[in-house]
Each structure stands twice: as structure tokens, then as C-alpha cells.
Amino acid sequence: MATQEKRKHARISSLNLSYVCLDENDKIVKQGMGRTLNVSESGILLETHFPIDKTHIVTLTLGLEEDLVDIKGRPVHTRTNNEGKYEVGIQFFEPDKKASRSLKKFIDAFGEQSAKDE
């Protein structure tokens, strides 16, 4: 039985990136590297070694060539996978124009790579 897609934007596979978790006072509470399981213009599914609290703000650093951009979001769900790692769904806040352009380039580049891998 086919499942109806409920997402507003298509997801694509991508790679690792760094993230920082901030509390309500903008103090760093956790940071690390995560593996991006999929990404769209509205959010990202990130695999981490520990859960990220829903009250934290997450800053992700995306890089494509020399273009680095920070995008902020809030965790909307967390689940544990079969390997004991955490899969954290992060919904992006409205990115500024530069971040939005960089995010689209990031998605396009990995979309092209995914097509080549098929």
C-alpha cells in the first residue's frame, strides 16, 4: 500500500555536519557532529549520539564548497534507531535570504549526487 507524502518539500540524502544546541539563554549546552539522514527546505533529520531536548535551539552549519552558512531550528521529534543512536527531526526557523540560497544549493548538490548513485 502506497503512503501519501505529507511533506511540503522533497527530502534528499546527505552527509555529516556540525551542530550546536543552545538553551533559552543562548548558552551552548551540547555540540557535535551528526549525520544528516535527509534534508529539505523546511527541516532536517539528523542522526546523533545523544538526544536533543525539544526546548533547545539547534544551530546547524551547512557547507558547500567555500560557502558556509548557519541555519537555526527547533527539534520537533526524537526517536531511537536500531543502532542505539538518535534520529532528531529539526524544523528550520525562517532562514534569511543568504541562508535560504545556500540551503537550496546544498539540497540541489546532494540531489544530483543521489541521482548519480542510482
Whether residue 118 lies inside any domain: the answer is: no
Residue numbers of the domain that contains 59:
16-111
pLDDT at 106: 74
* Single-letter residue type at 68: L
Tens-digit pLDDT string for the chain (118 aa): 455 555 555 444 446 788 999 999 999 999 999 988 888 888 999 999 999 999 999 999 876 666 777 889 999 999 999 999 999 999 999 877 878 887 887 777 767 766 666 6
Query: What does DSSP assign to residue 42?
Result: S
Q: What is the pTM of this model?
A: 0.77
Q: Residue 36 has what pLDDT?
A: 81
Residue 94, CB-side half-sphere exposure with 13 Å CA sphere:
0
Q: What is the CATH classification number for the domain harbouring 70?
A: 2.40.10.220
Collect all residues with Cβ–Cβ distance below 8 Å to 21 and sequence separation of at least 6. Answer: 28, 29, 30, 31, 52, 53, 56, 57, 58
Number of domains in the chain: 1
DSSP structure class, residue 2: P
Q: For residue 12, what pLDDT is reported?
A: 43
Residue 44 lies inside a defined structural domain of this protein: yes
pLDDT at position 107 is 78
Residue 28, Cβ density class (10 Å: 0-12 exposed, 13-18 middle, ≥19 buried) = exposed
73, 54 Cβ separation under 8 angstroms: no
